[in-house]
Structure formats: structure tokens, C-alpha cells
Amino acid sequence: MELICKISKGSKMDQVYIPKHRSGFRTGSYVLLRPVETKKATYQPHFYHVSSLEPVKVKMITQIFAIVDNALTSYDNCLVVGSFLEKGFHFHDVDLLLISEENVVDKELLQKKIAETMGLPAHLIVLNNKTLIRGLMTDPLYTMMLSKCVARKRFIYKAKTKINYKLLDLHLLKSKTLIDNFDLLNGNEKYYLVRNVVVILLFLQHKKLSKDTVDREIEKIFALKSVQTITLNMLDKRAFIKTYKQIYQQTFNNIMEGIQRGTQ
């Protein structure tokens, strides 16, 4: 005899209820609990500002969402973000944003399951909706993260920009290392630090953020044909550093003015 029952959440221990009138399973009997293997309905991921994606990546994303579905009883949404969504296969891991109101997600275990199943390391960020909305209001890195993504479920996140100048000052400080460590950094590291400055500058100007708009602004500021000039480490150091110092100082001055206005 087999019974299919649902695990109920208890105050101290979770429990399984079975019908009182049943044949077999006498009181005091030992039983084995195991998950019921059910075939879930197929679903299509939802693409946001992703114009095209290799079929193998779409398949991998669907598998990742299935792993999350099987591992968690409830969550609000799961989004794939970051370099995995860029054209080609230059990524080293997959970045995931998990939205959940319940603080019961075993982050390390879920990352391990994804890595073992997919053969690809996973970097998981777990947030609730309130934290996400606050981040979208004050932190340009959140806006950049969601500017291109693939989601398990449809979503609409609207947040009015509320500039936190002290937070932006901390973000900007990371990019100062490029000036003193230009020769020690590889192309990707330089691109990350340049993009960080430009993202903050555009955020201060209340401009729409996305990887494409930021890349175009980088090309305009540094008079480059493509941002690949940075990633491939083919820069004219003297001309680049001169322009970089100017744009860094401009961004820094804007932040300082905002901090001063806030303390007056």
C-alpha cells in the first residue's frame, strides 16, 4: 500500500498526516518517506532585454529553474543575470538572483546542487522584495543587474530613484585602484572598474542604465571603437589614464556636492 501525503509545517517539527482509516500501516509501524517524483508542467522562461540567446543556454536556464523548483517549497522568483546572458561562451559561472520572503533558503546547498547537476559553478544572491526595491532605488548596481535577465516568473519592479551619495562614494572608491594599478590589471578587470565609474555617473544624471547604454557611453568618453579595446588590454595608457582621471574626478565631485547638500 502507498499513501501520498503532504509535509505540513509545525511549530517545532514538520509532520506528515495520513488518514486514520486505512489498510496497513498499523500504529507503531516504521515507514520510509521519500519525495514523490512528479513531472511538473513545462514552462517558458521570461526574457527581459535579452534579444537573443544560444539554445544551449536556454536549455541550461530551464534546468536551473527546475533544480530551484525541486529544492524549494516556495519562493517568489528566480532570475539569471550577469555575463551568462552575453553572446558567446566566455562566462565562468552563472549568477542567480533568488527572491524569497522566507528566510529558509540554504544558499550553499542550492549552489552545490546546481554546480553538481550543471557542471557549472553558481553564484546565488538571496533577497526579499523589500530589499530588492530599496536596492533599485538607491544602488545602480541593482539596476544594472536587472537591466538584462531571464526570469522564472514574470515580474514588474518599479522603483523611483533615491540617490544615496555615501553609498555611491563607497562604490566609486573601488575604481580608484585603476589609476595606481593600471599595469597590474588585466583587460576584464580594467573594464569592470571603468564601467563602475560610468554607471555611477549616469545614475547621478538619472539616465537609464543597461549594459549597452553604459558601453556606448564608455566608447564615447574614451573615443574607442569598441569596449573590447579595454577587455583586450589594447589601451594607450597615457591618453586613457588622462581621460579616466578627469571622469573619475567629475563623478567624485558630483558625489561630494550631494553629500554636502545633505548635511546642510
List the domain boundaries for the chain: 46-151, 165-263
Copy the grid coordinates of residue 257: 556636492
**How far are the Cα atoms of 188, 199, 243, 251 from residue 215, in angstroms, in the given order?**
13, 10, 16, 17
C-beta separation of 76 from 101 below 8 A? yes
pLDDT of residue 240: 96
Enumerate residues 6+ apart whose C-beta is below 8 A from 55. Answer: none
The secondary element (H helix, E strand) that includes residue 98 is strand 94-99
Q: What pTM value is reported for the model?
A: 0.75
Give the relative orientation of helices 165-175 and 237-263 as an angle to the nearest 10 degrees. 160
pLDDT of residue 255: 96
Question: Under CATH, which architecture does the 46-151 domain have?
Answer: 2-Layer Sandwich (3.30)
- pLDDT tens track of the chain, all 264 residues? 677 788 888 888 888 888 887 777 788 888 888 877 655 556 689 999 998 899 999 999 999 999 999 888 889 999 999 989 988 887 889 999 999 987 678 889 999 999 999 999 999 999 999 999 999 999 999 999 999 999 999 988 777 888 999 999 999 999 999 999 999 999 999 999 999 999 999 999 999 899 899 999 999 999 999 999 999 999 999 999 999 999 999 999 999 999 988 754
Instruction: For residue 156, count CB atoms less than 10 angstroms from its CB and return exposed for 0-12, middle for 13-18, buried for 19 or more.
Output: exposed
